[in-house]
């Protein structure tokens, strides 16, 4: 027995993108709409045997017709079995897109908040799953273990770990260990924290397929799980979507080159939140800076955390003594030591002003 699973979750198609202009929000929704097709391409390229979508495929129960059509047409390019376990955002109901969209025959949507088993004789596996029918789901794995079948048991489920009182189908390592799955393909957690192991079970959340805010920074993607009699191997598959990134930049006397130099080459496709830090004579002109930088990134949020120099009143204050001694040391130091001493001076002044390190 050896199967390859492409496992994705939390696509959140048709999310509103409230922080963006209406034009950019529409563009982002269109880009997200392409995610099912990208996943289908990857399933074909990597010769996956199964595609698991572990919930929150849609951001809500209402979707644009073209979004449901994008999912339908992407999945219809596949001949492999596809399993969908609706989550708290896209729970199953008679009025949900799951009921209203005619998905191809290779797609199975779990529509009940109880574990169901689909045996796949050819692959030698059982696929277990469940679907939310409201914005919450009880703990389905509590006291559960798979019956002996001679096949390898797999799970696809939208579930939260490490929070036994969670309304989102809480699961524990102990339950997963006892349940008897070789691989549990989970959804709900928006960042990939690596595969985990509980007894003979490997389980993982791939995180969202693409970020939607600065609480979802960095590279996002799906997982490839190779399950065989020898064990389960999981690896991350980046999907190459726009990333949210945070930068902290010392503004200095001219923040424009400081910010420009801090942006990497691929900044154009990313959404940045840049925080200006350090001591400056004047507050930076954020509007002018935004106008000059906005063409270099997909979207820019600027925050000003700079501060003005404080007058040194009297040389007997701690600040005055520190400043005087550091100046003496800098004047006396060889050239190569000066950058380090200047940095020490800056950090010391930050600390004295109650600003420890970059904000």
Residues in the site for Mn ion, rule: CB under 5 A?
56, 87-88, 188
Least distance from Mn ion to the Cβ atom of residue 280, Å: 42
Residue sitting closest to Mn ion (CB): 188
Q: Using the minimum distance from each CB to Mn ion, give the nearer residue, 67 or 88.
A: 88
Give the three-class secondary structure for 19: coil
Task: Measure the CA–CA gap between 289 and 282, rounded to whole angstroms.
Answer: 14
Task: Measure the CA–CA gap between 262 and 296, rounded to whole angstroms.
Answer: 12
Least distance from Mn ion to the Cβ atom of residue 138, Å: 15
For residues 161 and 195, is the Cβ–Cβ distance under 8 A?
A: no
Task: Measure the CA–CA gap between 192 and 301, rounded to whole angstroms.
Answer: 25
Q: Using the minimum distance from each CB to Mn ion, give the nearer residue, 71 or 297.
A: 71
Task: Measure the CA–CA gap between 140 and 132, rounded to whole angstroms.
Answer: 11
**E strands, 230-285, in order:** 231-238, 244-250, 271-277
Instruction: For residue 108, count CB atoms less than 10 angstroms from its CB and return exposed for 0-12, middle for 13-18, buried for 19 or more.
Output: middle
Least distance from Mn ion to the Cβ atom of residue 207, Å: 12
Task: Measure the CA–CA gap between 65 and 247, rounded to whole angstroms.
Answer: 37
Q: Quote the tokens at residue 182.
A: 């070789």
Strand pairing report for 160-161 and 170-171: parallel
Task: Measure the CA–CA gap between 219 and 262, rounded to whole angstroms.
Answer: 18
Least distance from Mn ion to the Cβ atom of residue 195, Å: 19
Q: Using the minimum distance from each CB to Mn ion, give the nearer residue, 87 or 180.
A: 87
Q: Using the minimum distance from each CB to Mn ion, give the nearer residue, 210 or 270.
A: 210
Least distance from Mn ion to the Cβ atom of residue 205, Å: 10
Least distance from Mn ion to the Cβ atom of residue 168, Å: 6
């Amino acid at each position: 027995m050896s199967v390859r699973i492409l496992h994705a979750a939390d696509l959140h198609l048709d999310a509103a993108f409230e922080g963006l202009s209406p034009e950019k929000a529409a563009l982002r929704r269109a880009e997200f709409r392409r995610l099912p097709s990208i996943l289908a391409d990857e399933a074909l390229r990597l010769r996956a045997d199964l595609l698991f979508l572990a919930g929150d495929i849609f951001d809500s129960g209402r979707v644009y017709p073209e979004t449901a059509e994008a999912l339908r047409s992407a999945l219809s390019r596949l001949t492999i079995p596809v399993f969908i376990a609706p989550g708290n955002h896209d729970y199953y109901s008679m009025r949900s897109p799951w009921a209203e969209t005619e998905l191809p025959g290779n797609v199975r949507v779990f529509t009940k908040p109880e574990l169901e088993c689909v045996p796949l004789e050819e692959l030698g596996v059982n696929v277990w799953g469940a679907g939310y029918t409201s914005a919450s789901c009880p703990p389905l794995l509590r006291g559960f273990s798979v019956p002996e079948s001679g096949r390898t048991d797999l799970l696809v489920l939208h579930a939260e770990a490490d929070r036994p009182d969670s309304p989102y189908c809480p699961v524990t390592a102990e339950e997963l260990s006892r349940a008897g799955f070789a691989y549990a393909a989970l959804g709900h957690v928006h960042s990939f924290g690596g595969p985990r192991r509980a007894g003979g079970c490997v389980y993982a959340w791939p995180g969202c397929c693409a970020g939607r805010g600065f609480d979802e920074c960095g590279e996002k993607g799906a997982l490839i799980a190779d399950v065989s009699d020898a064990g389960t191997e999981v690896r991350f598959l980046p999907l190459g979507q726009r990333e949210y990134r945070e930068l902290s930049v010392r503004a200095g006397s001219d923040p424009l080159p400081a910010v420009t130099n801090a942006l990497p080459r691929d900044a154009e496709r990313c959404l940045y939140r840049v925080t200006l830090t350090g001591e400056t004579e004047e507050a930076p002109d954020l509007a002018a800076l935004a106008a000059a930088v906005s063409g270099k990134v997909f979207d820019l949020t600027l925050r000003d955390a700079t501060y003005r120099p404080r007058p040194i009143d009297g040389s007997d204050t701690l600040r005055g003594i520190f400043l005087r001694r550091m100046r003496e040391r800098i004047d006396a130091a060889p050239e190569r030591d000066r950058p380090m001493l200047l940095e020490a001076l800056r950090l010391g002044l930050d600390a004295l002003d109650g600003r420890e390190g970059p904000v």
